[in-house]
């Protein structure tokens, strides 16, 4: 039997689409990079980016998969930041996964996430829920460990019915077991991404950022805005596209896929035209000269 992945067949009438916001099981997604590429092939995506939370472990394997599956791959990341009291996310594209400075920051974030997970387990114990730290560490310790992993165990233990209940009762902001995550400033995230030869984008501004906040981020030297996202209304997408034009920025978008319909919409359900990827690539290449 031939195990070679099928070559992409793109007819002239197939719309050329890209999904530039996908999480793998190296952060809080469910699917491995290979499973992600298989789906991207099924949905006839021309280009994808894996943008794990504070983690680049999926990127080198994905570069090889991209060749095998004949799908363009943009190495990405989604960095958690704090602006005033709000958590915001900055996407980095075209980053070098082997960049030494980037990796030393990520190692530090990883440690901080582990410390925080431990503190969350401690709080859960005070609510009479016992989760073994060694078990959590052996299952998820290699990833960007976060609240969704703990929610998973709460569901398995029948403490809650689903992720939403886990967040509503225990893990969500202002809940009894909430411990804030270590976060850097947006300016620091932009610098880290730049040092790793990447370009930075404001992720899903419609979720958490007011117009003035967006203008502040633009003034910090962000390269673009994620206009298309499942949590953006059509009116918001239009508004962000106008801002992109007004400030001469780049545009990105995607499904924020986490590999499970319980965790959000399917991969490829929110896409951008491939022409935008061509524009992004040219913009990035020009910056590198």
Residue 89 binds which entry of Fe ion, ligand AMP, Zn ion, none, with Cβ cut-offs from 5 to 8 Å by kind? Fe ion
- Residue 215 Cα distances to 107, 222, 234, 254, 256, angstroms: 31, 10, 20, 22, 23
- Residue 45 Cα distances to 58, 69, 93, angstroms: 19, 11, 17
From residue 28 to residue 47, what is the string marking binding to Zn ion with x (rule CB under 5 A)?
x-------------------
CB of 203 to Zn ion, least distance (A): 11
- Tokens at 71, concatenated: 């799908």
Nearer to Zn ion, 120 or 243 (CB): 120
End-to-end Cα spacing for the chain: 46
Other CB atoms closer than 10 Å to residue 190's CB: what's the count? 24
* Binds ligand AMP (CB under 6 A): choice among 75, 148, 198, 253: 148
Residue 172 binds which entry of Fe ion, ligand AMP, Zn ion, none, with Cβ cut-offs from 5 to 8 Å by kind? ligand AMP
Nearer to ligand AMP, 230 or 253 (CB): 230
89 in contact with Fe ion (CB under 5 A): yes
Region of 144-152, 217-225, 227-235, 246-254 interacting with ligand AMP (CB under 6 A) = 144-152
Nearer to Zn ion, 70 or 87 (CB): 87
Residue 147 binds which entry of ligand AMP, Zn ion, Fe ion, none, with Cβ cut-offs from 5 to 8 Å by kind? ligand AMP
Region of 89-97, 129-137, 159-167, 212-220 interacting with Fe ion (CB under 5 A) = 89-97
Q: How far apart are CA 195 and CA 87, in angstroms?
A: 22
- Tokens at 106, concatenated: 């990520």
Q: Looking at 24-99, list the stretches that DSSP marks H as alpha helix, in order from N- to C-terminal side.
A: 33-42, 59-69
Residue 181 binds which entry of ligand AMP, Fe ion, Zn ion, none, with Cβ cut-offs from 5 to 8 Å by kind? ligand AMP
Which residues in 60-79 contact Fe ion (CB under 5 A)?
Answer: 78
CA dihedral 34, 157, 54, 274 (to 10 degrees): 40
CB of 148 to Zn ion, least distance (A): 6
Residue 183 binds which entry of Fe ion, Zn ion, ligand AMP, none, with Cβ cut-offs from 5 to 8 Å by kind? none
Which residues in 37-56 contact ligand AMP (CB under 6 A)?
Answer: 53
Other CB atoms closer than 10 Å to residue 44's CB: what's the count? 16
- Residue 234 Cα distances to 145, 156, 204, 228, 248, angstroms: 33, 37, 13, 9, 21
183 in contact with Fe ion (CB under 5 A): no
183 in contact with ligand AMP (CB under 6 A): no
Residues lying near Fe ion in the complex (CB under 5 A): 78, 89, 203, 256
């Amino acid at each position: 039997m031939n195990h070679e992945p099928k070559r992409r067949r793109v007819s002239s009438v197939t719309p050329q689409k890209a999904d530039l916001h996908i999480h793998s099981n190296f952060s809080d997604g469910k699917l491995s990079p290979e499973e992600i590429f298989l789906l991207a092939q099924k949905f006839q995506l021309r280009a994808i980016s894996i943008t794990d939370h504070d983690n680049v472990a999926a990127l080198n394997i994905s570069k090889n998969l991209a060749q095998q599956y004949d799908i363009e791959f943009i190495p990405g990341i989604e960095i958690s930041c704090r602006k005033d009291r709000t958590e915001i996310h900055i996407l980095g594209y075209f980053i070098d996964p082997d960049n030494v400075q980037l990796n030393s920051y990520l190692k530090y974030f990883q440690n901080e996430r582990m410390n925080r997970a431990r503190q969350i387990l401690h709080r859960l114990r005070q609510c009479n829920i016992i989760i073994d730290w060694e078990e959590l560490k052996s299952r998820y310790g290699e990833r960007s460990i976060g609240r969704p992993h703990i929610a998973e165990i709460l569901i398995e233990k029948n403490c809650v019915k689903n992720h939403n209940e886990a967040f509503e009762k225990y893990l969500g902001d202002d809940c009894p077991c909430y411990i804030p995550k270590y976060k850097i400033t947006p300016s620091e995230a932009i610098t880290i991404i730049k040092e790793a030869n990447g370009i930075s984008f404001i992720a899903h501004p419609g979720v958490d950022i007011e117009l003035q906040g967006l203008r502040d981020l633009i003034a910090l030297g962000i390269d673009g805005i994620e206009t298309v996202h499942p949590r953006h209304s059509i009116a918001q997408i239009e508004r962000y596209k106008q801002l992109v034009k007004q400030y001469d920025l780049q545009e990105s978008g995607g499904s924020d896929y986490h590999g499970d319909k319980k965790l959000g919409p399917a991969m490829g359900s929110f896409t951008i035209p491939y022409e935008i990827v061509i524009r992004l690539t040219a913009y990035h290449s020009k910056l590198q000269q």
